[in-house]
Amino acid sequence: MDLLIEELSTQERYKFLSAVVIPRPVALVTSKDQSGLCNAAPFSFFNVFSEDPAIAILGIGAKSNGGSKDTLQNIRDTKEFVINMVDSSIIGAMHIASAELPSNESEIDYAGVTLVDSKTVGVQRIAEAPACLECELFQIIDLTERRALVLGRIKSIHIKDELLDPITKRIIPEKYSPIARLFGDHYAWLGERYTKAIPSVEEIHSLGLRAGEIKTDS
């Protein structure tokens, strides 16, 4: 089946694109309004796209009524936000924060998590999150009235001590399992991992690999 984007409705585009491009990490974003009220909201149109400068990108759509989401308005106003990664310790909080609460209420009051001060931005991070990216606004690209791309310059990374190898200073893969968004109401955890180094040109010339074939290092 071939699907031409211009022949699909906006909802159909979202349905197919979000179902095909999986898994996607979930950013539970904390931001604050001009009065200081904290907002928390999850976004799965999210990833990091550069290390120099260190840039994370959020794709933020409109509310169901067409209005601007609180997160986007807060970022426009304060120029700061925190991306809190989601694992099993805050999965319930992520689902609570998915609901569209009134702008004068904070999802944190219902989510059962703790806010603590960040190191480099005025927005607080979620203490229970396995990792947090403290960001200042780099750029907002307004694609349409209903969709914006938010580019955040990452100023600091907070990682739970138990996730780091004290010798190598690298994340321990077996201890870090962020949730992945699939499509609709479907999510997944990281499954079985494999290790495979990038093949050298010599290996490619001498061995080659058939499509779908992988020889893992063990």
Sign of the torsion formed by the C-alpha atoms of 103, 104, 106 and 110? negative
- Backbone phi, then psi, for 200, in 5-degree steps? -80, 165
Beta strands per DSSP E along the chain? 24-25, 27-32, 38-43, 46-51, 54-61, 80-85, 115-116, 125-126, 131-144, 147-159, 180-181, 187-188
Sign of the torsion formed by the C-alpha atoms of 53, 151, 9 and 183? positive
For the entire predicted model, the pTM comes to 0.91
Per-residue pLDDT of the chain (218 residues; tens, 9 = 90+): 899 999 999 889 989 998 898 899 999 999 999 999 999 999 999 999 999 999 999 999 988 787 889 999 999 999 999 999 999 999 999 999 998 888 888 999 999 999 999 999 999 999 999 999 999 999 999 999 899 999 999 999 999 999 999 899 899 988 999 999 998 899 998 888 888 788 788 877 877 666 667 666 55
DSSP labels for 154-173? EEEEEE-GGGB-TTT--B-G
CA angle 92, 95, 100 (to 5 degrees): 140
Q: Sketch out the chain's domains with CATH numbers.
A: 5-192 (2.30.110.10)
User: Where do we find the tokens 């928390």?
Assistant: 40
